[in-house]
Structure 1
Amino acid sequence: MNVIVNRVAEFLKRFPPFSFLEKEELFLVAGQVEIHYLEKDRIFFHQGEPARPNFYVLKEGTVHLVETSPKGEEIREVCDEGDVFGVLALLGKRPYLLTAKIIENSLIYAIPVAIFEKILEKNSRVALFFAAGFAAGQVVVRQDLSQGQKARNELRSPSNDHSLLIFTDESSLKITEKVLTCSPEWSIQQAAGLMTEVQVSSIVVCDSNHFPLGIVTDKDLRTRVLAKNLDPSSPVQKIMTSPVITRKRREHFSNLYLTMIRNQLHHLVLTEDGTDQSEVKGLISDHDIFLSMGNSPAILIHALINAKEVSEMRGIRDRAEAMLKYYLENEVAMDFVASVMTEINDVIIKKAVKWSQLQLKIEFPDLPEIKFTFLSLGSEGREEQLLRTDLDNAIVFEDVPKELQEKAKSYFFRLGESVIEALLACGFESCPAKIMANNPDWVQPLSVWKSYFSQWIVTPTPEALLKSSIFFDFRAVTGNPSLAEELSQHIFQEIRKHKSFLGFLGQNALNTPPPLGFFKDFVVEKSGEHRDRFDIKARAMMPLTDLARLLILSHEVVGINNTFHRFEKLAELEPNYTDLFTQAGTAYEILMRMRALEGLQQGNSGRFLNPKSLGKLQRQLLKNTFSPIAELQQIVEIRFQLDYFRR
């Protein structure tokens, strides 16, 4: 028996939250585990079935969690080794939201809720792990909390590191000390008026001793007053939620949050002794919890979505930088890291656009709704901007009648100005070439954008080719994506008519030779402030970016902007060169990691490395990334007959 318990413990300790347990706790849990062997095509539990007194860890096999609706069945989650599911049992006796289908013969560990609840009370890290998973809307709790959040297409980190959640200490938890209160006799209108004046989303209803009787929130005003056409002169006690759930002001952070999770509370009232028979001493909201829970992707993204001011977004983006440093130093896969940082940047842009639109409604009240899309360009367009380096972006709006053209242009220019102002306030840098949405050249209707690209393709001057390297990597971040799609189709139509353009792009991709000199040393800058430094962007990353773009354009592949994803697709399209394209994609990921780490360490863009400061292994790793550049350049030279361009 001890042998089995040891094996169960050895398996569990590889995965969070069990990796956070003390040895005694781990063996206590392992000793209580029930082992289920289930054959393929069995149903483990059904949607709507009451939750059992266990939750589950998949040891071997595959389990699909399926949602059944009038439209049919939809796979919501695929459980892999170490994934924790059936966790709603931890929140009380609730029916299962999904059906668990056994896809392959599976071995499942069932862990009694009763024994684990005791651990939750004592081990704050375990409690926070589950709390954050529930808060992110997860039905499967796993090491990467961005799984349940929209942090790109099924974001997944192959890292086995169990500390991808970085929690802050409890001193950072923001608790509202001055709680807005009123007596039960107040009218609904009085209470709502005070909430509006103070700009808060809740008011606690108290008796004459300042003991809490109930709570009224914004949601109550919508659902219990407006939706039911209730007379606003009615007493506030008629709509308050009562009795009110309370906890002690000094109670442990994890217990406070689990109380909110279990009871589905957005606000928790804190009193002197933790009961409703003592004075109100504070209030905590789910938004406050999210802001204090640290630097996991799900938490940061949620905090950004709920941010009320630009300064708040700046602070959250600063925290994302700490998360980025942790990920890079712990060798988390670059694909995952880039996706997370892109999603964070995108949320900031979307919020900035939304706020700017609200402000401009006052100035442009009569302007009809006009379709537009905000484009990210360059590295952010390729989903590769890890650091807050210079911005490249633009606005495309639909063509409007002549009488609206000037007004529309003015509106979208003002929109671009406001968005860029917010992004700069969040710590991003201004583009030296002014390729930003606050430059009127890059705020244009669709027809003008089409003419821009046509001109660059038909007349590929050096300046046009430079613009192509930035603008051809556009990506719609917010607004109407159909405009970006139409622009993409236009570009491919033009390239089909002017195939020589690819030759010019190819020649441009060959302009930067492989970055090693005759004596196999790094080619460094010869003068200026970066003398004797290696330009990792211009000499290593840009050649790979340019080559990937050229080759993917030649295959007319739409919708893949990211450089290592482009190489991944090219490996699929050209099986004869699979190894080379795979090597090139890996090389690019290594270069991204090295540049970002340099930037974080030096507090700059990370573009210029000092080769002498690199260790022997780092130098060799960097040199290894150069080899695919020369091979790819040779292929491009032959494929696009670039000898012709030199005659």
Structure 2
Amino acid sequence: MSNVIVNRVAEFLKRFPPFSFLEKEDLQAVAKSVEIQFLEKGETLFRQGEAARPHFFILKEGSIQLIETIQEKQEIKEICDEGDVFGVLALLGKRPYLLSSIATENALVYAIPVDVFEKILEKNSRVALFFAAGFAAGQVVVRQDLSQGQKARGEFKNPSGDHSLMIFSDQSEVKVSENVLRCRLNTSIREAAKSMANHQVSSIVLVDENGFPQGIVTDKDLRNRVLAEGISTENPISSVMTTPVITRKKQDGFSNLYLTMIRHRLHHLVLTEDGTTQSPVCGLISDHDIFLSMGNSPAVLIHALMNTEDISEMRKIRDRAEQMLLYYLENEVSMEFVSSVMTEINDLIILQAIQISKKVLDPKFPEFAETPFSFLSMGSEGREEQLLRTDLDNAILYQDVEESQREKAAEYFLALGIQITEILLACGFSPCPGKIMASNPEWVQPLSVWKSYFSEWILHPTQEALLRVSIFFDFRAVGPRKSIAEELTAHIYQQIGKKKIFLNFLAQNALSNPTPLGFFRDFVVEKSGEHKDQFDIKARAMMPLTDLARLLVLSHEVVGVNNTFKRFENLAQFEPNYEELFIQAGKAYEILMRMRALEGLKQGNSGRYLNPKTLGKLQRQLLKNTFAPISELQEIVQVRFQLDYFSK
């Protein structure tokens, strides 16, 4: 490969982690070894079940889908974009490919040899940890975010570009279990299983007379190799063991130990005194130990949530997420990244709550187990802005059923809503004072009723209706059937199109929020009550920006953008004359979110009320600076929606 091409390949790779973590000479070595492959639209790079090739891949141009085929039924598992690394799980495990890769348009792929990159993995811990984070989050495509799927690709980004530090900022030593459960090769399966149960462990190591490891048996082995196959439990445990055993030394270090587990698909790694099978067992590491050692990183918290249905454990994980949040806020991490991480964690808690609740209720209401429904997050969670566990605003939307089943369906979905709400409250979220929750029958309704609700609010925008709008218009379907929510969204825009004057009422309501500053340019504080002399950052600063962004986005018929600072980003593109103002408004909102979250974590509450006297001079000025876009936007809305004339 000529030097010109090598340099171009290196320049491209350098833009994307983990290649951005490589030393110059290593990057050049990788670039020299790359094989460039061109795929025409519809062409397959590798097929599910094929033996892993001696390469993994990074997409240079075009688009590639990763598809799983089960009983002739195909499902798209991932869509690869520029810079995405794929084919890695098969590479590290030396196993057949789990998915097929098909070019959906002409594509250019760089194939990177395994043997070249494995040397880098061994010496570059940042590269190793980057891959480890992706595997911990269960990704089939490795990219710079920790989400699953396209949705959060642009959201889980660290603007500094140092993704490994972001993910593993609190790396600690891996915990090793030194009291390893052992047995001899001739021990019966029944005796070994009983010993595992008595010691409450998920594995047992088989050793010879010298204590050298000969094999290992796990809970999974007992299920798959004994119970599923109907093997007698009087047979020796050695008949179902995994052998040879993969072993390492305790002193090998986190990266090497974890990468060994990844490469060999191990849930347990046996440690011996010299790292070989020819010395006594001295420890054991489980994947659970690994995840605990990695601390409060997004990958670990997400993985932990996906693998537990224990509500108390879910609460603990959400508590740990708050510790992570504090670290991010204090270190000035991008609010887009922070809110995306916290939204992903909150959404996973909701999805687990739905799953737990359905397991309880579906056997009692089997006729509705498959009825399509959406769990709607609203308010700050709907806008992907709920950093703290503030008030819940949510609802359930389900598919209309036959008239004869309506009453029973209402009973099922209300019971489901109550169960989900109780789990969320147990995880530390606060109840909505106005009872706008899925535990309230008014907000657990079929699609036809939800359509009538929104039609009524739009066609007859009373003050109460406009109050509902400020909460309900920011709904976001968390799961499990988002298509129903999309149908409701289409109905809303159709209704607004029929009654454009609704936006004038909405504009009037957006300007009704109290001003943040008084006549003498000082903070307007509460005059009485529990929060006397405190500044309401939500009502006087955040809500005006939220309401203005929602109004203007609705006026442009922008669908699917709920987040306030993302709404301002979109508006900057739609209205280039006001681009700078919208950019400043988005930044102002991010500052307000950060200030409120920090106050909430500091005080152990929602962070809604600040005491201006406790703010330093710079903090006070920063807060006041966020108010400037509010007044400018309100002036634009006043003129655009003819509110002087409209209010007469």
Q: Which TM-score bucket, shorter chain as reference?
A: 0.7 to 0.9
1:533 Cα deviation from its structure 2 partner: 1.8
Q: Please state how far the C-alpha of 1:622 moved relative to its aligned partner.
A: 1.9
Taking structure 1 as the reference length, the TM-score comes to: 0.80
2:167 partner SS: coil
Q: Distance in 2 between matches of 1:51 and 1:86?
A: 10
Question: Residues of 2 paired with 1:543 and 1:359: CA distance?
Answer: 42
- The corresponding residue for 1:462 is 463
Partner of 2:152: 152
- Letter aligned with residue 325 of structure 1: L
How far 1:326 moved relative to its partner? 2.3
Q: Are 2:608 and 1:607 equivalent residues in the alignment?
A: yes
The DSSP-based 3-state class of the residue aligned with 1:596 is helix
CA contact (8 A) 1:151 1:343 kept: no
Distance of aligned partners of 1:282 and 1:352 in 2 relative to their CA distance in 1, 3 Å threshold: farther
Gaps of 5+ in 2: 1-12, 40-44, 68-73
Greater displacement, 363-372 / 296-305: 363-372
Q: Offset of 1:354 from its aligned partner?
A: 0.5
Instruction: Report how far residue 510 of structure 1 moved.
Output: 0.8
Displacement of 1:324 after TM fit?
1.8
Cα pair 2:66 2:101 within 8 Å, conserved: no
The alpha-carbon distance between structure 1 residues 196 and 594, as it changes in their structure 2 partners (threshold 3 A), is: same
Q: What's the counterpart of residue 325 of structure 2?
A: 324
Distance 1:66 1:505, change over 3 A: closer
Q: Is the 8 A contact 1:212 1:276 kept in 2?
A: yes
Q: Which 10-residue stretch deviates more, 379-388 or 283-292?
A: 283-292
Matches within 5 A, 1:522-541: 522-541=523-542
1:569 is the counterpart of 2:570: yes
Q: Give the corresponding residue for 1:164.
A: 166
Contact 1:145 1:298 in 2 (8 A): no
| 2:166 alignment partner, SS class | coil
Partner of 2:82: 78
5 Å matches for 1:486-497? Answer: 486-497=487-498
Deviations 1:467-493 (A, max 9, x none): 111111111101211221222222223
CA distance in 1, matches of 2:80, 2:16: 22
The AA in structure 1 aligned to 2:353 is A
Amino acid across the alignment from 2:243 = S
Relative distance call for 1:68 and 1:95 in structure 2 (3 A) is: farther
Q: Percent identity?
A: 62
Report the Cα distance in structure 2 between the residues aligned to 1:344 and 1:183, rounded to whole angstroms.
44
8 Å CA contact retained: 2:507, 2:641: yes
Between 397-406 and 277-286, report the one with greater CA deviation: 277-286
Show the 5 A alignment for 1:79-94: 79=83
Letter in 2 for 1:309: D
In the TM superposition, 1:197-276 aligns within 5 A as 202-205=203-206, 212-217=213-218, 219-220=220-221, 236-248=237-249, 252-271=253-272, 274-276=275-277
Work out whether residues 174 and 289 of structure 2, in 8 Å CA contact, stay in contact via their aligned partners in 1.
Answer: no
Once the two structures are TM-superposed, the CA of residue 340 in structure 1 deviates from its matched residue by: 1.3
What CA RMSD, in Å, does the superposition of the two structures yield over aligned residues?
4.6
Question: What amino acid is aligned across from residue 166 of structure 2 in structure 1?
Answer: L
Asked if 1 retains the 8 angstrom alpha-carbon contact of 2:525 and 2:534, the reply is yes
Instruction: Give the conservation status (yes or no) of the 8 Å contact 2:250–2:272.
Output: yes
Q: Which segment is superposed worse, 572-581 or 371-380?
A: 572-581
Indicate the residue corresponding to 2:382 in structure 1.
Answer: 381
Per-residue deviation, residues 160-211 of structure 1 (Å, max 9, x unmatched): 4563124545467374846486855635x88778878988654545557765
Tell me what 2:436 maps to.
Answer: 435
Ranges in structure 1 where 5+ consecutive residues have no aligned partner: 1-11, 21-25
CA offsets 1:549-581 (integer angstroms, 9 cap, x no match): 112222222211111122222222233332322
Structure 1 distance, partners of 2:635, 2:438, is: 37
CA distance in 2, matches of 1:270, 1:160: 35
Supply the distance in 2 between the matched residues of 1:223 and 1:394 (Cα, whole angstroms): 41
Contact 1:90 1:113 in 2 (8 A): no
Please state whether the residue corresponding to 1:518 is helix, strand or coil: coil
Kept after mapping to 2: 8 A contact 1:399/1:445: yes
Whichever residue aligns with residue 375 of structure 1, its letter is: L
Report SS of the residue matched to 1:164: helix
2: CA distance, partners of 1:99 / 1:488: 33
Note the C-alpha offset of 1:265.
Answer: 1.3
Aligned-residue offset at 1:157: 2.6
8 A Cα contact 2:63 2:106, kept in partner:
no
Quote the Cα distance in structure 2 between the aligned partners of 1:468 and 1:33.
54
Query: What is the SS of the residue equivalent to 1:557?
Result: coil
Paired AA for residue 82 in structure 2: V
Q: Is the 8 A contact 1:224 1:239 kept in 2?
A: yes
Equivalent-residue separation in structure 2 for 1:36 and 1:246 (angstroms): 29
Q: Is the 8 A contact 1:394 1:443 kept in 2?
A: yes
Farther off after superposition, 417-426 or 503-512: 417-426
Q: Which amino acid is 2:417 matched to?
A: G
Which amino acid is 2:463 matched to?
P
